Structure 1
Amino acid sequence: MVRNRAPGVAVVPEPVSAVDTLHGRPVPDPYRWLETSDSPETLRWLEERGREYDREASTWHLREHLARRIRALVATDLWTPPVHRPGALFCTVRPAGSEHPRLVVFPASPEARGSADGCGEPRTVYDPCAEDPTGRTTLDAWEPSPDGVLVAVQTSSGGVERGGLRVIRADTGAPVGPTVPKVRYSHVAWLPGTERSFYYVRRDGAQGVRGVWLRRVADGAETLVYSCAGTGTVPGVRVLDGRWLLVTEGHGTGHRTDLWLADLRTDPPEKPVFRALQAGPEAETEVRPGPDGVLYLRTTLDAPRRRVCAVDPGTSDELGPEHWREVVAEDPGATLDAFCPFRSPDGPALLVVRTRLGISAAAVHDAVTGAPSHRVELPGEGMVSGPVAAPDGTLYLGYADVATQQRVLRLPPGRHRPGFWPPEPSGPGTSNTAPAVTRTVVWCRSEDGTRVPITVFDASGRPGASDDSDPGPTLLHAYGGFGRPRQFGFSATVLAWLLSGGRYAVAHVRGGGDAGRRWHLEGSGRHKPRAVQDLVAAADALVSAGWCTRAQLCLSGGSAGGLLVLAAATARPDLCAAVIASAPLADMARFERMGLGRMWTREFGTAADPDDFAALMSYSPYHRALDSAVRTPGLRHPSVLLTGFDGDTRTDAAHPRKMCAALLAAAGTDGDRPAALLRYERDVGHGPRAVSRAVGLAADAHAFAAHRTGLTGR
């Protein structure tokens, strides 16, 4: 399947005849054979790509420098906000030097509960590294029982994100009852009391039905309580206040949520009677219980940037949106990204977190009137995540910014300024002296005239964009998918790049959630080409304004962002010097047949629809590269680094394999370096991985960018 070439020269895969006819259009697919990951032909091809990659990577002068810097920046204890149970606080911590987070519990006496020091020394409940010293096993999710005696933990191995759901004792870690096999990031909702049963979800059609199941811990007996109506929906389940069973059904990530509520005080747990909380409207809604028995809903219904509403399920049988009461109105200039009901000294209250172009602001509001009470004084310009409330009204939230590793903030009732929790972290990354990083927002105009913001970070002390500015090596990152906003938390990789003298920019393109739901919908489905146009405009703007030259510019994106940067580079081969596409989508004619693509037709469209198909093919990077191989043989695209993970069950590693083959064919055999490199890993997937492997991947990717853009380091 490959031609032999001299060392150092790209090996061009031989095409294999495969042509589909879709809506009357022939669609060539010469590298379909690469979709079979374990065939002898694919394995030989991957071996050659690996040798090619190793030869090139050995020439990247900043490879070890960046790896050392990134390792030093992540060498700190990393905590998550604690979950309270009677007499205990559960959370995860990744100790400095450890490969993975572990689940720990702080035992708390009644008089010490909620104290700032976390109630003494934590005890490990579950450590994936103790179970699997190879680092291949990850802790994917966990949920303690209402009394804190048991914990449901989900683990997977090799990156496949489908593993086992088991129950263990919180005091000894001993297993209780049989394991649920082949579960993928299931929600777990415990029944109240000591019955030892919980609800969980099957998202992948196991047992023939996708939906919510009730499972008895002791013997594994199960009952289906909710069956999903569609094949492309995602179920979820929670038990609120020990009384209300909430089942959610997501129709396309970031597009629509149906919500169903049952009363466990009146309904048998195995036969709940559901009432519609929201069913049908094109809105994404999240529900959290308040200390007053009211349910609070963060929703995009009639509010593209989200608002908070309330409904009392205990006083009315009518729960639909027409019966909701607005509590916190939409802010047209900021997106309401998180909220948390809690008990304040003055009564029920809400913590509301809004984001403007990646920077969070938090405020406390009255839960009855919605009136703002006071702002929360955050440590800097960064990202707030995962707010949770303790029974006494203490709030815990994650905080990070570009120069500060994530910490947990603890805000006692009635206070405006939070402190850190735990108060005495260890490790070199916890120094109070953070490097000086400047943030600048610039704007560009996309092809249709829409103004698109770009955030630029710099730690070099150089001037910004002006007539006398100093252009420098720049990474331009974009995601632009699923309505997810770009938020500026901590990335050791980004900070290492900045400290080495580079600039880092983020294009807030349509398709993401940076400006609310409309911004998302304007760059999704048949409108996805707009996201590509936004990124092209952002790259042109950075060059025109003097932030960098084209030879100093590298595009960077992962997953849906990998699709975006590949689409931009194949549309405009002159756009930049290099591209990093990590675990990308690439073949948009067949994405529904690979990984979780069948779940993403609301985001990208479907090849079965002629209009959707036309849009998909207008930017599909794989087909653009194939087309250029025919129309303009020898065309040199920017240097492309693709990463692929053999255990990837989301985007599927067939995408980067096929894209690499197409780019090599488009460039032909001219030149002294490959047009595309593939960094391919086994025993990892799309999600979390061991720290050492994450550092290696990040250092390699950014050493490639440094080599191609002229970053010399410092």
Structure 2
Amino acid sequence: MRNRAPGVALVHEPSSVVDTLHGRPVPDPYRWLESADSPETLRWLEERAHDHAREAATWPLRDRLAERIRGYVATDLWSTPVHRPGLIMATVRPAGAEHPRLVAFDSPSADGVRADRARVVHDPVAADPSGRTTLDAWEPDPDGRLVAVQSSTGGVERGVLRVLRVVDGRPVGPEVRGVRYSHVAWAPQGPPAFYYVRRDDGDGSRGVWLRRVADGTETFVRACSGPGTVPGVRVLGGRLLLFTESHGTGHRTDLWLADLGEGPLERPVFRPVQVDVEAETEAALGPDGLLYLRTTVDAPWRRICAVDPADPGPAGWREVVPQEAGATLDAFTPCGTADAPELLVVCTRLGIDTATVHDARTGAPLRDLDLPGEGMVSGPVAAPDGTVHLGYADVTAQQRVLCLAPGAARPLPWPPGDAAPPEAPEVERTVLWCRSADGTRVPVTVLTAHGTASDTPVPTLLHAYGGFGRPRRFGFSATVLAWLASGGRYAVAHVRGGGDAGREWHLAGAGRRKPRAVEDLIAAADALVATDLCVRSGLCLSGGSAGGLLVLAAAVARPDLCEAVIASAPLADMARFERLGLGRMWTREFGTVADPDDFAALMSYSPYHRVLESAVRTPGPRFPSVLLTGFDGDTRTDAAHPRKMCAALLAAARAEEGRPPALLRYERDVGHGPRSVGRAVGLAADAHAFAAHRTGLAPRRPARGRSWS
């Protein structure tokens, strides 16, 4: 290996593995790192841990950032509640706790709910004091006597589904193992039973199953249409069984509906709602008995249609709420009454949500919600009495649950209480527009804490995701707030591939067009420098998962673009992404190596291979400093990606650097998703202390601000 950086001793030389794909040799010298537990990999990881510990000890803001982040999250965090007869259930993570717990209120209405009256049904920490187990999902039965609870250990997101008695949390019947984020749909009548889905079994059993609670007997109800689909199942209105299949996240959804009153539970008769249409569609049942559909059919910004569930095919769809160009219709819920049905509709404009109540019959807007600020609305859920609960958060406010009474325009806090949230700085938001390589205008949102110079360069984090049609919405991030309070600037590039400008914006940066997303991010970074908001040496790119792929691709394509990069649980090896983690499910988003044109596009930006190519050049480029994070339990992107990327960067390092050009922060017993608060704080503080050190963000006293209200 050439040009090894001083102090960096690799325990394993590159291998000579070379694949030939579509007539092109594709070297893969670090394939041995795909074996997570081999002696060679374990020794290599020990060296990376030593590198990280040595470097992290020099980051002056590490402890202060951790303290600020802990302070910002030291509030009770509630989920939106679910109503059952005489019962309300929700999760809460009390201030100072490591994980949320499932609780119940024995109350006929929200008026009688008080936080101190919550009865604990399930606490994952009580079940596993190590903190390695997370509560992944839960669903109460129609009577509120039983609740299905899914949990997993070590971050693998493939765990156990148990049925518990709500009254005392005791288990009922045998458990189900190997379940990955299954929807649970309770049968409306008869002895307790529920439908659930198996997503990734390799024995042909993927699809919908009906399970009897008492003895655990199961019946296979419906198979998936193909290996690349993600199944889902829900019961609407206590009688209609909705089966969905997602073909590539954010690309296409097929839906079928069955009336469970028409025959045996084991053999529901499904009617197609939407099949073989390149569109995303989501369904909900209104109080008037109609099926309401949020869809991208003939509406790239999404619209809402209504249809009779007895004949739910597209021929009967009636538009209720039309699309609005410039505003992605992000969420909705039917509410009101059978005589006066309504729809609560949430729209997103460059990350900021608005919520409006519409007449469900005419689509006419009735009233705009008076939200606490400019932020994000999530998970609106209607109660039987017409009350709607929704989550709200913004840049300076931790998520809280709000309760909207029928006919009201201003939602109130739920559950009622007077706990004072932590003080946070005021934040100013502006939008900068830049032009990408093909001339497309790309928006960049810029956040600055009040008291930080808004017209002079300051250390800046530039974030991007750009995948799966997901818009970047400005909810709460304690990490971002801590960075802003420390005097830094935070920017978000709304690149193609995301959903910030509708479905067409997504597709313009997906598949063979994914390089456009990389070009958009490069243009955003150049614009921040050109407008004197930052300098190259004060700029750090930041992204996770698909966003980690994006920031790595931009940095290796333009090594002079920035000073540093944070890539959390990224994709990196795009020649083998289909063989790692859930990559086989993402070919609609990235393409497939099996197709020669897709393969050419993948290799044009694959960060791992771009770095390998640079290693044979003399002199090689000086890449930015990179902090990669990897999680041993990650079953989505697979930690082989950051391991291999780190090895490639170390091998390509110029000898005169004098410090590791890439660091790997590697964790065990956690995965891609939720983790304990303590581990989340440690990860966030390390990543942003690294960025502060590389960009020159100096310690400063926090700006005085307002209290959250």
TM over 0.5: yes
Report deviation, 1:300: 0.7
C-alpha distance in 2 between matches for 1:378 and 1:161: 34
In 2 relative to 1, CA 2–94 (structure 1 residues): closer, same or farther, beyond 3 Å?
farther
Of the three residues 547, 556, 560, the one matched with 2:546 is: 560
List aligned pairs for 1:279-678, cutoff 5 A: 279-314=275-310, 317=311, 319-343=312-336, 347-424=340-417, 426=419, 430-431=421-422, 434-464=424-454, 469-678=455-664
Contact between 1:10 and 1:669, CA under 8 Å: does it hold in 2? no
In 2 relative to 1, CA 27–395 (structure 1 residues): closer, same or farther, beyond 3 Å?
same
C-alpha distance in 2 between matches for 1:343 and 1:312: 18
Contact between 1:558 and 1:583, CA under 8 Å: does it hold in 2? yes
Report deviation, 1:376: 0.4
Report deviation, 1:423: 2.0
List aligned pairs for 1:20-419, cutoff 5 A: 20-108=19-107, 110=108, 113-115=109-111, 117-118=113-114, 121-205=117-201, 207-314=203-310, 317=311, 319-343=312-336, 347-419=340-412
Q: Which moved more, 1:659-668 or 1:494-503?
A: 659-668
Report deviation, 1:209: 1.7
C-alpha distance in 2 between matches for 1:372 and 1:145: 34
Report deviation, 1:425: 5.5
The DSSP-based 3-state class of the residue aligned with 1:630 is coil
Deviations 1:496-554 (A, max 9, x none): 00000000000000000001100000000000000000000000000000110000000
Report deviation, 1:195: 1.8
In 2 relative to 1, CA 627–272 (structure 1 residues): closer, same or farther, beyond 3 Å?
same
Report deviation, 1:670: 2.8
Contact between 1:116 and 1:423, CA under 8 Å: does it hold in 2? no
Deviations 1:191-236 (A, max 9, x none): 0134200000000025532100000001111111110111000000
C-alpha distance in 2 between matches for 1:25 and 1:215: 50
Gaps of 5+ in 1: none
C-alpha distance in 2 between matches for 1:62 and 1:120: 37
C-alpha distance in 2 between matches for 1:138 and 1:425: 29
The DSSP-based 3-state class of the residue aligned with 2:325 is coil
C-alpha distance in 1 between matches for 2:338 and 2:298: 32
In 2 relative to 1, CA 652–267 (structure 1 residues): closer, same or farther, beyond 3 Å?
same
C-alpha distance in 1 between matches for 2:325 and 2:75: 38
C-alpha distance in 1 between matches for 2:183 and 2:489: 39
**Partner of residue 707, structure 2:** none
Report deviation, 1:34: 0.3
Contact between 2:294 and 2:302, CA under 8 Å: does it hold in 1? yes
Deviations 1:339-389 (A, max 9, x none): 010115971000000000000000000000000001000000000000001
C-alpha distance in 2 between matches for 1:118 and 1:149: 21
In 2 relative to 1, CA 381–287 (structure 1 residues): closer, same or farther, beyond 3 Å?
same
Q: Which amino acid letter does the alignment assign opposite residue 312 of structure 1?
A: D
Deviations 1:10-67 (A, max 9, x none): 6485210000000000000000000000000000000000001100000000000000
Q: Which amino acid letter does the alignment assign opposite residue 487 of structure 2?
A: G
Contact between 1:10 and 1:674, CA under 8 Å: does it hold in 2? no
The DSSP-based 3-state class of the residue aligned with 1:91 is strand
The DSSP-based 3-state class of the residue aligned with 1:81 is coil
**Partner of residue 703, structure 2:** none
**Partner of residue 704, structure 2:** none
Contact between 1:77 and 1:425, CA under 8 Å: does it hold in 2? no
The DSSP-based 3-state class of the residue aligned with 1:292 is coil
Deviations 1:305-332 (A, max 9, x none): 1000011124xx3x22121010000001
Report deviation, 1:145: 0.3
The DSSP-based 3-state class of the residue aligned with 1:115 is helix
C-alpha distance in 2 between matches for 1:543 and 1:2: 34
Contact between 2:11 and 2:44, CA under 8 Å: does it hold in 1? no
Report deviation, 1:422: 1.3
Contact between 2:3 and 2:653, CA under 8 Å: does it hold in 1? no
RMSD over aligned Cα, in angstroms?
1.6
Report deviation, 1:115: 1.0
Report deviation, 1:460: 4.3
Q: Which amino acid letter does the alignment assign opposite residue 307 of structure 1?
A: R
Q: Which amino acid letter does the alignment assign opposite residue 578 of structure 1?
A: A
In 2 relative to 1, CA 117–15 (structure 1 residues): closer, same or farther, beyond 3 Å?
same
Q: Which amino acid letter does the alignment assign opposite residue 621 of structure 1?
A: P
**TM-score under structure 1 length normalisation:** 0.96
C-alpha distance in 2 between matches for 1:529 and 1:308: 32
Report deviation, 1:461: 2.4
Q: Which stretches of structure 1, 4 residues or longer, exceed 6 Å deviation after superposition? A: 1-6
Report deviation, 1:244: 0.8
The DSSP-based 3-state class of the residue aligned with 1:193 is coil
The DSSP-based 3-state class of the residue aligned with 1:103 is strand
C-alpha distance in 2 between matches for 1:35 and 1:241: 47
Report deviation, 1:390: 0.7
Query: Are 1:683 and 2:673 counterparts?
Result: no
C-alpha distance in 2 between matches for 1:123 and 1:311: 40
Contact between 2:49 and 2:666, CA under 8 Å: does it hold in 1? yes
C-alpha distance in 1 between matches for 2:629 and 2:548: 10
C-alpha distance in 2 between matches for 1:560 and 1:313: 37
Gaps of 5+ in 2: 701-709
In 2 relative to 1, CA 118–412 (structure 1 residues): closer, same or farther, beyond 3 Å?
farther
In 2 relative to 1, CA 172–603 (structure 1 residues): closer, same or farther, beyond 3 Å?
same
The DSSP-based 3-state class of the residue aligned with 2:616 is helix
C-alpha distance in 1 between matches for 2:424 and 2:55: 34
The DSSP-based 3-state class of the residue aligned with 1:246 is strand
C-alpha distance in 1 between matches for 2:85 and 2:556: 57
